[in-house]
Amino acid sequence: MQVERSILTRAVSEALQEDIGEGDVTTCSVIPKGSMARAKVVAREDMVLCGMSFMEEAFLQVDGQILWKPTAKDGMRLTGGATIAQVEGAAAGILTAERTALNYLQRLSGVATLTRQFVDAMGKHSCKLLDTRKTTPGWRLFEKYAVACGGGTNHRMGLHDMVMIKDNHLATLGPSAAQTIPLAIQQARAAYPHLHIEVEADTLEQARYAMEAGADIILLDNMSPTQLADAVKINQGRCVLEASGGITLANVQAVAASGVDCISIGAVTHSVKAVDIALDFESLR
C-alpha cells in the first residue's frame, strides 16, 4: 500500500503547525540570518526504515530550498551507524523542521522494525502476519503503511470494509452461541453481501458454529497452538483461520506452525517503541 501524497502533505502540515505555533522562538532568536548547515540523518540501531516521504515533506514545507538527499528508502533493513539521508540549506529551516521530521521517521520505522521481527520469528510457514485497528488515532493509514514496509499484511482499515462479529456483538444478541452466531452471519450477509464476514470465536465450539454458518474468516481468540491445530482439522479448508491474542515473539512460530492462515498482532502498532535515529548537524558558515 501507499499513502496518498495529499493525505501525507496535510498531515505533515498539521504536525508542523502543532509544533511551530506562532514561530520557533529559539531558532529565531539564536540563529543568525543566512546561516547555512548540513546534517546527516543517521540510524543509531538496527532497523527497518519507514517514513522517508514524511521526513522530506516536513523539511520542504518549512523551507522549500532545503536540499534533501536520501541514501536509503522505505522497507530497507539498516544497521546501526548507517546514513539514511543528508539535508543541506538554511540552518533555521532544518532546525525548525527537525523534531517533526524525526517523529515521523522514528515512529514509523519502529512499527516496520517490530513487524519484521515478528515476520522473521514466524519462520518458514505460509501464514501471514496481520495488523489490527489498535492504531494511534489519526495515524492508522500511516502505521498500516509501516506494517506493510515491515513485511506484514493489512487487515481491515476500519469498521466500514469488513464485517467482524465480535464477542460483544454476540453477547448483545443473546446467551446461546448456537443461535446468535448463525443469526448474526445471516443478518450481516443480507445487509452487506459484498463484504467478507469474520466471526470471533473464544472456543472450538463457537468456531464450529461459525464454520457451519458460512463465515468467511474466523478469529480464534487466545487459543493455544494445540487448540489452533484442532480448529484447522475441524475447518477442513472451509474458512480462513486467523489466530489472535497473547501472541509474542517467543511463541509466534508455534502459532504459525499450527496451520492457521494468518496471525493478527495489535502490538506491532499499539506497543511499538520508536527507533533511535539522529540528525547530526554541522555548520556551514
Domain ranges in the chain are 5-114+273-283, 120-270
DSSP-derived secondary structure for 173-192: H-S-HHHHHHHHHHHHHHH-
Residue 238 designated active-site: no
Question: 3-class SS at 134?
Answer: coil
Catalytic residue among 56, 198, 221, 261: 221
Residue 282 corresponds to which amino acid? Answer: E
- Tell me the average pLDDT of the chain: 96
**Of 2, 264, 11, which Cα lies nearest the Cα of 137?**
11
Segment 175-200, tens digit of pLDDT: 888 899 999 999 999 999 999 999 99
Candidate list 73, 166, 280, 282, residue with the active-site label: 166
Catalytic residue among 38, 77, 99, 133: 99
Q: What is the pLDDT of residue 13?
A: 98
Confidence of residue 283 (pLDDT cuts 50, 70, 90): low
Active site residue 166: yes
Q: Hey, what CATH class is 5-114+273-283 in?
A: alpha beta
Residue 23 is inside which H or E element, if any?
A: none
- Spatial neighbors of 99 by CB under 8 A, at least 6 apart, are 19
- Alpha helix (H) ranges present in the chain? 5-20, 25-30, 52-62, 91-122, 140-149, 167-173, 177-191, 204-212, 225-235, 252-257, 267-270
Give per-residue pLDDT as tens, 9-41.
999 999 999 999 999 999 999 999 999 999 999
- Catalytic choice (200, 208, 242, 261): 200
The catalytic residue among 77, 134, 140, 238 is 134
Answer yes or no: 40 catalytic.
no
User: Which neighbouring-strand residues pair with 279?
Assistant: 41
Q: In which band, very low, low, confident or very high, does the pLDDT at 282 lie, cut at 50, 70 and 90?
A: confident
Can 124 be counted among the known catalytic residues?
A: no
- Predicted TM-score (pTM) of the model is 0.95
Let me know if 233 is a catalytic residue.
no
What pLDDT score does 57 carry?
98
What's the pLDDT tens digit per position in 135-170?
A: 999 999 999 999 999 999 999 999 999 999 999 999
Tally the C-alpha atoms within 13 A of residue 165's C-alpha that lie toward its C-beta. 32
Provide the CATH topology of domain 120-270. Answer: TIM Barrel (3.20.20)
Q: What is the pLDDT of residue 14?
A: 97
Q: What is the pLDDT of residue 67?
A: 97
